[in-house]
């Protein structure tokens, strides 16, 4: 697959022209910043990074260009988001056209055509009934939107006491206070307190003792969904608004759902009148070989959150897909005027909508929403070929997402995987490290030669770590 790549336009402003030299591929960048003190970097060891920075200055297809001119194979699609590869001409040109025609439109009491067109396109990819779309700017905002909609729905139907939420251990739902509260990563909450009150957590499904080196979905663990019964018994179903989970937990190490787990969770939510929310910020738009993981697994939630691949990462955007009955209950049941007091200045931003429409058209044209399913056998076999290398205690793969889990060093959780990450980058491959897991999610245009390079580099690094 040879994507058509966009050449950057020549900037007229001299200041912008100077910045453009950063994007010259194949040669060292002359404009590496002389100081990095002003920028406080997110989810980064700032002191360590600024002692030995890893700077990216350009991107094209499957590769980044580092500041020293080296080509870096992108094995993580940027940050789970650049599904069609970098610098795709149709997306770049759509953004340029939109910026020239309509750069911003207020989303409150006003609209623009691209917003309605994109909502229709997104809804058409979802399971039947999930056909109302609320736009935001990130996965974090999409999740907080879903929580608010769940509360508004129960309030509109006469059950305002349903205010509790159930998340899952090792779940990641962004960095808003709502997402932090239902998320199951203690480190993300340690500095900020409890956040949203009234949240419980199901046990995670990661079970190395029974499921290590499973091919596809692990066989054991569906019964872990039954912990929801204990939470219902403790608080009463009439106090719980929704259960929020990732079909595949990405940021905490690519945790695949056990066979039957999601089905059981859906049945329990139906039994107790709880809404089920799937966070598909990572799995949406082809990552597991279907438009959404809900379609791959055949389990339909009541709300579904997306972001990342919605615009191929080109412009920030998120969305919350909502079952029509939920939308109608809130909207039709309200008095005249605003029905849901929620939204963002940049909801359905024109540039984001243009990027989204061009991205979805590109996915359709190139078959990228299902390509991961065709690549899955090759991808899975290649990753499982790392079994037996030093420190490898598990390999997980589905679609075009994968994980290689390493045994932690004594008293230094994450240190071994972080060293693997930095060594891979030095050898020309960008992977992602989370705890002691090397997480992988290449652009969906990946070819067999890229998979071979990735696996060979990772194998070489793991041997060196021994």
Task: Please give the average per-residue pLDDT across 422-440, as a whole number.
Answer: 97
7 falls within a domain: no
Alpha carbons within 13 angstroms on the beta-carbon side of residue 296 total 28
| Judgement on whether residues 48 and 173 belong to the same structural domain of the protein | no
Pick the closest to residue 292 from 359, 370, 392, 213 (CA basis): 370
The answer to whether the CB of 246 falls within 8 A of the CB of 283 is yes
| Judgement on whether residues 272 and 245 belong to the same structural domain of the protein | yes
| Judgement on whether residues 354 and 343 belong to the same structural domain of the protein | yes
Dist. CA 276–CA 293, nearest whole Å: 14
Q: What percent of the chain lies above the pLDDT cut of 70?
A: 94
Over the stretch 15-51, which tens digit does the pLDDT of each residue have?
334 334 444 445 667 768 889 999 999 999 999 999 9
Last residue of a domain, one of 324, 342, 366: 366
Dist. CA 235–CA 201, nearest whole Å: 13
| Judgement on whether residues 215 and 242 belong to the same structural domain of the protein | yes
pLDDT of residue 19: 38
pLDDT of residue 6: 55
| Judgement on whether residues 340 and 395 belong to the same structural domain of the protein | no
Diameter over CA atoms, the chain: 67
188 falls within a domain: yes
Q: Output 412 or 317, whichever has higher pLDDT.
A: 317
Q: Which residues, at least 6 apart from 100, have a Cβ–Cβ distance to it below 8 Å?
A: none
Which band of pLDDT confidence, cut at 50, 70 and 90, is reported for residue 3? Answer: low
Order of all β-strands in the sheet with 303-306 = 132-136, 318-322, 303-306, 275-279, 240-245, 164-168, 199-202
Last residue of a domain, one of 350, 366, 382: 366
Q: Pairing relation of β-strands 432-434 and 437-440?
A: antiparallel
Examine the pLDDT at 441 and tell me if it is beyond 80.
Answer: yes
Task: Please give the average per-residue pLDDT across 432-439, as a whole number.
Answer: 96
| Judgement on whether residues 44 and 114 belong to the same structural domain of the protein | no
Order of all β-strands in the sheet with 432-434 = 392-398, 401-406, 437-440, 432-434
3 falls within a domain: no
8 falls within a domain: no
**Burial (CB count within 10 angstroms: exposed 0-12, middle 13-18, buried 19+), residue 293:** buried
CATH code of the domain containing 38: 3.90.1150.10
Which element (helix H / strand E) includes 279?
strand 275-279
Over the stretch 112-162, which tens digit does the pLDDT of each residue have?
999 999 999 999 999 999 999 999 999 999 999 999 999 999 999 999 999
Dist. CA 377–CA 372, nearest whole Å: 9
156 falls within a domain: yes
CA quadruple 378, 384, 385, 391: dihedral positive or negative? positive
Which band of pLDDT confidence, cut at 50, 70 and 90, is reported for residue 8? Answer: very low
194 falls within a domain: yes
| Judgement on whether residues 55 and 130 belong to the same structural domain of the protein | no
pLDDT of residue 394: 98
The answer to whether the CB of 414 falls within 8 A of the CB of 408 is yes
Classified as helix, coil or strand, 164 is strand
**How much is the CA Rg of the chain, to the nearest whole Å?**
22
Tell me 23's DSSP state.
Answer: G
Q: What percent of the chain lies above the pLDDT cut of 90?
A: 88
Q: Pairing relation of β-strands 132-136 and 429-430?
A: unpaired
pLDDT of residue 189: 86
133 falls within a domain: yes
Task: Please give the average per-residue pLDDT across 101-117, as a whole number.
Answer: 98
Task: Please give the average per-residue pLDDT across 426-440, as a whole number.
Answer: 97
254 falls within a domain: yes
Mean pLDDT computed over every residue of the chain: 93
| Judgement on whether residues 362 and 376 belong to the same structural domain of the protein | no
Question: Helix 139-156 to helix 324-332 angle, to the nearest 10 degrees?
Answer: 60
pTM: 0.93
Bridge partner residues of 165 (DSSP) = 199, 242
Task: Please give the average per-residue pLDDT across 220-245, as a whole number.
Answer: 98
Examine the pLDDT at 110 and tell me if it is beyond 90.
Answer: yes
| Judgement on whether residues 70 and 183 belong to the same structural domain of the protein | no
Examine the pLDDT at 14 and tell me if it is beyond 80.
Answer: no
Task: Please give the average per-residue pLDDT across 256-263, as a whole number.
Answer: 98
Last residue of a domain, one of 366, 392, 417: 366
pLDDT of residue 31: 67
CATH code of the domain containing 277: 3.40.640.10
| Judgement on whether residues 290 and 417 belong to the same structural domain of the protein | no
| Domain ranges, residue 426 | 14-83+368-465
pLDDT of residue 4: 66
Domain count, the chain: 2
| Judgement on whether residues 176 and 28 belong to the same structural domain of the protein | no
CA quadruple 105, 108, 110, 114: dihedral positive or negative? positive
| Judgement on whether residues 361 and 375 belong to the same structural domain of the protein | no
pLDDT of residue 10: 43
Dist. CA 344–CA 83, nearest whole Å: 26
Residues present in the chain in total: 466
């Amino acid at each position: 697959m040879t994507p058509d790549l966009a050449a950057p336009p020549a900037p007229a402003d001299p200041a912008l022209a100077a910045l453009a030299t950063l994007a010259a591929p194949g040669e060292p960048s002359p404009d590496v910043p002389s100081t990095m003190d002003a920028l406080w970097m997110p989810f980064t060891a700032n002191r360590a990074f600024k002692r030995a920075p890893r700077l990216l200055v350009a991107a094209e297809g499957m590769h980044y260009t580092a500041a020293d001119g080296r080509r870096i194979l992108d094995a993580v699609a940027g940050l789970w988001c650049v599904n069609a590869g970098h610098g795709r001409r149709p997306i770049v040109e759509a953004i340029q056209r939109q910026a020239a025609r309509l750069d911003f439109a207020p989303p409150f009491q006003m609209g623009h055509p691209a917003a309605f067109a994109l909502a229709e396109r997104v809804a058409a990819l979802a399971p039947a009934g999930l056909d109302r779309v609320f736009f935001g700017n990130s996965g974090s905002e999409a999740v907080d939107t879903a929580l608010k909609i769940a509360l508004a729905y129960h309030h509109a139907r006469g059950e305002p006491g349903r205010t509790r939420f159930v998340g899952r251990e090792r779940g990641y739902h962004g960095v808003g206070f709502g997402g932090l509260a239902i998320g199951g990563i203690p480190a993300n909450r340690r500095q900020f307190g409890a956040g949203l009150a009234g949240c419980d957590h199901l046990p995670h499904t990661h079970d190395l003792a029974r499921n290590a080196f499973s091919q596809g979905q692990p066989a054991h663990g569906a019964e872990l969904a039954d912990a929801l019964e204990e939470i219902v018994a403790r608080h009463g179903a009439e106090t719980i608004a929704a259960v929020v989970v990732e079909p595949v937990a990405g940021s905490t190490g690519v945790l695949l759902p056990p066979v039957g787990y999601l089905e059981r969770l859906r049945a329990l939510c139906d039994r107790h009148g709880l809404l089920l929310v799937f966070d598909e910020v990572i799995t949406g738009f082809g990552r597991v070989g279907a438009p959404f993981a809900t379609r791959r697994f055949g389990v339909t939630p009541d709300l579904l959150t997306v972001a990342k691949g919605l615009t191929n990462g080109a412009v920030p955007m998120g969305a919350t897909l909502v079952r029509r009955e939920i939308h109608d209950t809130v909207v039709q049941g309200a008095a005249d005027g605003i029905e849901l007091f929620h939204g963002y200045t940049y909801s359905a931003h024109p540039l984001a909508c243009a990027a989204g429409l061009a991205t979805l058209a590109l996915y359709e044209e190139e078959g990228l929403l299902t390509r991961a399913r065709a690549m899955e056998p090759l991808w899975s076999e290649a990753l499982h070929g790392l079994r037996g290398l030093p420190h490898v205690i598990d390999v997980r793969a589905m679609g075009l997402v994968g994980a290689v889990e390493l045994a932690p060093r004594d008293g230094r959780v994450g240190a071994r995987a972080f060293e693997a990450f930095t060594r891979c980058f030095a050898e020309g491959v960008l992977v992602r490290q989370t705890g002691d897991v090397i997480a992988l999610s290449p652009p969906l245009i990946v070819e067999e030669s890229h998979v071979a390079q990735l696996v060979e580099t990772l194998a070489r690094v793991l041997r060196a770590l021994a």
